[in-house]
Amino acid sequence: DSAKWTLPPVMPVVIVIVVLAAIVGAFAWFLRAKPAGEGAVTDVFAVPIDPTNVMVEVRVRVQNVAKKQLWIRNIKATLKSGGSEYNDDAASTVDFQRYFQAFPDLAQHQSTPLVPESKIAPGAQQEGMVIVAFPVSKEQFDKRESLSVTLEPYDQRPIVITEKK
């Protein structure tokens, strides 16, 4: 008898590792999180509030590509400009008329608002405007690197819609 310990043959071990990796890969692929929706920024219009702030009207189109209803909980916007990032929640539709009276240029571009608590049926699409404000000048806004609108559904992953320049 020998006290020598021996390793199992290499080929059966390699085959088991490859089969396990294939099974884990298949589960990861088929159970991955699928997007709830997709969309596009169709128009952006900004007016200066004062020399250091701007109010922006963003028109977005959202399509529900999931198999269940898309129920929007919150809407946010993110501006990247001059190496900085600025965030703002969408303005309440109750304030829209007040903004349009204060900024007539903004009123010329108004459309149907996209509001929280909106429901989009599977396969349907909805277009609407979102109003946000950022602490940048109009010139700095016009030189922006990117502008994104994030729709946060109740029970699905957020939908980030980025403006294409």
What pTM, to 2 d.p., does this model score?
Answer: 0.76
57 in Cβ contact with 44 (< 8 Å)? yes
pLDDT at 3: 58
Q: Which residues contact 102 (CB under 8 A, 6 or more apart)?
A: none
Beta strands in the chain (DSSP E): 37-50, 53-64, 70-81, 84-89, 119-120, 125-134, 146-153, 159-162
pLDDT per residue of the chain (165 residues) written in tens, 0 to 9:
555 666 667 888 899 999 999 999 998 888 877 777 889 999 999 999 999 999 999 999 999 988 888 899 999 999 998 889 999 999 998 999 999 999 998 888 888 999 888 899 998 999 999 999 999 999 999 999 999 999 999 888 899 999 876
CB-facing half-sphere around the CA of 53: CA atoms within 13 A: 6
pLDDT at 79: 94
SS (H, E, C) 47-93: EEEECCEEEEEEEEEEEECCCCCEEEEEEEEEEEECCEEEEEECCCH
pLDDT at 7: 67
pLDDT at 4: 63
pLDDT at 165: 66
How many whole angstroms separate alpha carbon 59 and alpha carbon 101?
Answer: 19
How many whole angstroms separate alpha carbon 30 and alpha carbon 32?
Answer: 6
pLDDT at 17: 94
pLDDT at 21: 96
User: How much of the chain is in helix, strand and coil states, percent to nearest 5?
Assistant: 25, 40, 35
pLDDT at 113: 92
Dihedral sign (CA 123, 127, 133, 136) = positive
